[in-house]
Amino acid sequence: MQKEKIKILVCHHKKSPYIKNECVIPVQVGKTLKNFDLEYCIGDDSGDNISNKNPYWCELTALYWAWKNLDADYYGLMHYRRYLSFENNEDYQVITSLNDEQVKRSLQPSNIYNFCHDADIVTGPIWSIHPVGLDNLVMSSYDFYKKEHIQADMDITLSVIKDKYPDFYFAALDELSSNYCFFMNLMVLKKELFYSYCEFLFGVLNEVEKKINLDNRDSYQKRVFGFLAERLSNVFVIYCQQKNPNLTIKHTGMYFLAEKQNINLKSITKQIIDKENIVVDGNALSPINICMSFDDNYLMPALTALKSIMKHTKSYIKLYILCDKRLSKANRSIVKNNLSNNFDVHFVDVDPGILSYLPLNREYISINTYYRLLIHKLIDVDKIIYLDSDLIVVDDIKKLWDIDVNGFCMAGVLDEGGVMQSRRLNLGADSNYINAGIIVLNIKEIKKKYPDPLKAYLETYYFNRRFIILQDQDILNIIFRDSILVLPLKWNVNGRIFEVNELDHKYNDKDIRTALDDLGIIHFTDRKKPWKFQATHPLKSMYWYYRKQILELPLSFTEKRNIFLQNQFKYVIKGNIVHADWHGIKFKVNKKTAKDILRIFRFKI
């Protein structure tokens, strides 16, 4: 029996890792618009094509090319970072290499044939529909589209289906009212279904194209036809199920190829320590104003951060610590006693009741995070640097202080998932969503624009509370969206730069390499802090390097234990499985089971 031809196109728009075999075909999309060729790809610009529409139709230019120019028994579509898992599961797994044995096995032709031969349709995983980070805010497909995109486009699409493709109308209503779907047009279909799918998909979208205007849209919303196609793909599958309940439809998992930098730890460590030896002029006439906020639980990380500042900065620093009774008098004395003479320390007491009604929806967040919203009220300065406690400063902070912020309310570094956060908050594709762990606040400008800044902050929260998940960081990004100065990435080098980043961000590869060549502040973002035993950050040793220099406070038993475990125990999480290595003994355990074991031994996770 002759083997069926399966052709799954993988869309590429820039040079990247790829898989290529008799079933998996890399395609350069929008090739007619590019001045370069991806030598490992075929182009979407030969024969009958719509390659020139790629900025608006996205991956559909590859789909159209396959429809018109490729002969196969099964047709499929994937993306250069998103690959269907031809296994019987619906897991979402972040990977850092296409050479991963599991990925190679999944995408080898024999496995694809075995998985597809008895299926009529294969789709990506079925997920509940919700904004990024808001898993509990499940929405209908229509409401989600209305939030993320332009409602009128969907209304026009539904009208076109009702008028010209009435057989699909109730399937469309089913899809738009549903809380579940598969995303990104990841599908494999038998030939006859693929042709029907394309006739429906491109027929609808060609009519919609005649009725909408793309002028005055940002680059993201101009990709409207790709967004609409995600919904139409689901409409088609629902229609097929309604028409023929005996169809075999499989939903499978997805691999996401995330970024992973090549980090030279030896070089970076040397860079950090070498910068300690720089002689700095400590005779500046005006002080550097720095603000932090922490309680007894964060004393050690905060002192470690301050120790790192001391090793790199000799300028006169006025340090303001926003705190409440949870920072004891004894620990306040410890802070003062461990700082050098160029630090002038002020403890500013805050009544936590002022902000107690604001949400704390992350387990490692305390009410202190909101205290930065009170800086304008409690500290009489024109400008101040705010620092989180989970960081180390590895360059002279005066360089950050000297950056001109005139005309801006706030300066900060682009967040590691800023593009996604901007979408969640509907800030627009051109917005600069920054991480608020290290910011420069221009208090003078804030007071000029807002007679009562706290009132403006609270109004911002209440008007947007449904979508706020990152506390005051969201509030600051919303209110100052038109008054943010973007700082060089070196001043807030996030944890995902050193590990794996599966999030969409606005900074680019050049920004990353520039920051790594001249580090300013290393920010241990996310929950696996370097003082916890499960930390995987490759520079966690630099945290301990500065922590050990706090001589008045020797390492506690817990800290010594965590250092030992960090050195002896290695692990990687793949999907729902923890792959662990203890002294060369390798084993696997379910992620939930691993968490239960840690709780038994009273480890904080």
Average pLDDT over residues 76-101: 90
CB 410 within 8 A of CB 439: yes
Give the C-alpha distances (Å, rounded to integers) separating 62 from 16, 214, 289, 421: 17, 21, 55, 29
Chain segment 200-239, per-residue pLDDT in tens: 999 999 999 999 999 999 989 999 999 999 999 999 999 9
Report the chain's terminal Cα–Cα distance, integer Å.
54
Residue 36 burial by CB count (10 A; 0-12/13-18/19+): exposed, middle or buried?
A: exposed
Taking all residues of the chain, what is their mean pLDDT, rounded to a whole number? 92
For residue 446, how far is the Cα from the chain centroid? 28
Q: What is the DSSP letter of 124?
A: -
Give per-residue burial for 433-452: e unless 16+ CB within 10 Å, then b: bbbbbbbbbbbebbeeebee
Average pLDDT over residues 410-420: 96
Average pLDDT over residues 84-106: 88
Q: Where are the alpha helices (DSSP H) in 93-139?
A: 101-106, 109-116
Topology, domain 265-512: Spore Coat Polysaccharide Biosynthesis Protein SpsA; Chain A (3.90.550)
Question: Residue 277: which residues within 8 A CB-CB, separation 6 or more?
Answer: none
pLDDT at 366: 64
Domain range summary for the chain, segments of one domain joined by +: 6-257, 265-512, 528-605
Give the C-alpha distances (Å, rounded to integers) separating 165 from 169, 202, 243, 438: 7, 12, 14, 53
Which has the minimum average pLDDT: 192-196, 204-208, 353-357, 501-505? 353-357
Chain segment 4-19, per-residue pLDDT in tens: 899 999 999 999 999 9
In this structure, the dihedral spanned by the alpha carbons of residues 73, 75, 80 and 85, taken in order and rounded to 10 degrees, is -80
CB 272 within 8 A of CB 521: no
pTM score, two decimals?
Answer: 0.90
Query: Beta strand pairing status for 253-257 and 92-95?
Result: parallel
For residue 106, which amino acid is it?
Answer: S
